[in-house]
Amino acid sequence: MQFKFHMPVKTYFGEGCLANNSSELSKYGNKALIVTGGSSARLSGALAEVCGILDQQKTGYVIFDKVQNNPTPENVKEGGILARRSGAEFVIGIGGGSPLDASKAIAVLAVNDIEPEQLFTNSFAKRPLPVIAIPTTAGTGSEVTPYSILTRADKQTKISFGAPETFPAVAFLDPRYTVSQPLEVTVNTAVDAFSHSLEGYLGKRRTPATDILAREGIRLFGVCLESLRSGDISLAVREKLLYASMLGGMVISHTGTTIVHGIGYNFTYFSGIPHGKANGYLIAEYMRFNYDYAKDRIDDILALSGLKSLDELDEVLAELIGRPPMLSPDEIKRYAAITMTQRSTKTNIRPVEACDIEGILERLRKL
């Protein structure tokens, strides 16, 4: 048995965790840049709590609330300029995966005089500013991963960067901040978390330690399934979803994702489909594709999530998120070619060629 396990994020979990550990916000400097989207930080109540603590501690702050969904290099460049101009000494990211990923990029750009495209070299002359991550969705696990995923128009896809220095320093996971999510965001992001755990569990880079985390993340998705289907989501269920999301993030920090994410980026890039939903379209077909290579593990995923078959999984996911848009033969070829440029094709347990991706997408059309 040989593996490396590296999880350097100081993680506080539970209702009131920020207020109960507020001194953490004073440890990283005298001026913060708060990075968020247009509404999530305010609606979730997290921004008010953070600002209240910073005011009390007399720590200065500036707010950058322009992070777009699926942020771009230009978007994070703007945040980097503000960080530098304002003399920020640390970054507080509040929001779903988009603001949290943007925070990591902005933390690098704040201290390194580089163009955003150079982020993808994963090598930075100066150590990024410390990031404090506060999720308001329960899906990406970005608060415990080093990854920042940016939309690249030049490559017509989404590409991630990440290095040991881009892990957040601290994460505060309070399920109350996820209550204000619209139901669709709750469901899509829960599917993303499920996808992280199962892709990690089936991927080539899995380890005995990530298997434990992944199996629990998968089991919790099963426990929460009925609530997700009914739309009646209590705070106790939200707590489980947030915990499952964190576990999924810890898994992919080690294993990376596989072709569910690699193919899914096309649906987001070309059709604006939210990230978790795009993954959800592909999960059942991805497991069918890999079945002969990981039969025991796929049966285990079904048993853990309380489902009898891949057909049932397919139906449950379709009920939650719907079916993918109909792709033309040309689109299928384009999606497959772009997916083959993704690193995630290398982590799939079964070798993947462009014709395999085309086959997966063809089969989705027939469902």
| Residues within the interface to ligand NAP (CB under 6 A) | 37-40, 43-44, 69-70, 95-99, 101, 136-137, 139-142, 145, 147, 149, 158, 177-178, 180-181, 185, 189, 192, 249, 275-276
The residue (of 199 and 285) whose beta carbon lies closer to ligand NAP is 199
Report, in Å, the least distance between residue 299 CB and ligand NAP: 26
The residue (of 124 and 310) whose beta carbon lies closer to ligand NAP is 124
Q: Give how many residues touch Fe ion by CB under 5 A.
A: 1
The interface region with Fe ion, picked from 186-194, 231-239, 288-296, 308-316 by CB under 5 A, is 186-194
Q: What is the secondary structure of 211-250 as a DSSP string?
A: HHHHHHHHHHHHHHHHHHHHT---HHHHHHHHHHHHHHHH
Output the six-digit token pair for 109: 């750009």
Choose, by CB under 5 A, the member of 143, 192, 239, 285 that binds Fe ion.
192
Report, in this order, helix, strand and coil percent for the chain, each rounded to 5.
60, 10, 30
356 contacts which partner out of ligand NAP, Fe ion, none, CB within 5 to 8 A by kind? none
Report, in Å, the least distance between residue 98 CB and Fe ion: 11
- Residue 239 engages Fe ion in binding (rule: CB under 5 A): no
Residues in the chain: 367
95 contacts which partner out of Fe ion, ligand NAP, none, CB within 5 to 8 A by kind? ligand NAP
Strands of the sheet containing 31-36, edge to edge, are: 10-13, 170-173, 131-135, 90-95, 31-36, 60-64
Report, in Å, the least distance between residue 142 CB and ligand NAP: 3
Cβ contact 138:189 at 8 Å? yes
The residue (of 290 and 344) whose beta carbon lies closer to Fe ion is 344
Report, in Å, the least distance between residue 264 CB and Fe ion: 8
Integer Cα distance of 9 and 171 in angstroms: 7
Amino acid at 251: V
The residue (of 310 and 321) whose beta carbon lies closer to ligand NAP is 321
Pairing between strand 31-36 and 170-173? unpaired
Report, in Å, the least distance between residue 111 CB and Fe ion: 27
180 contacts which partner out of Fe ion, ligand NAP, none, CB within 5 to 8 A by kind? ligand NAP
Residues 6+ apart with CB under 8 A from 21: 12, 172
CA quadruple 87, 95, 127, 158: dihedral sign: negative
The interface region with Fe ion, picked from 84-92, 105-113, 187-195, 302-310 by CB under 5 A, is 187-195
Report, in Å, the least distance between residue 51 CB and ligand NAP: 16
43 contacts which partner out of Fe ion, ligand NAP, none, CB within 5 to 8 A by kind? ligand NAP
CA quadruple 301, 306, 309, 312: dihedral sign: negative
The residue (of 102 and 316) whose beta carbon lies closer to ligand NAP is 102
- Residue 267 burial by CB count (10 A; 0-12/13-18/19+): exposed, middle or buried? buried
The residue (of 189 and 347) whose beta carbon lies closer to ligand NAP is 189
What are the residues facing 172 on neighbouring strands?
Answer: 12
* Residues of this chain that bind Fe ion (CB under 5 A): 192
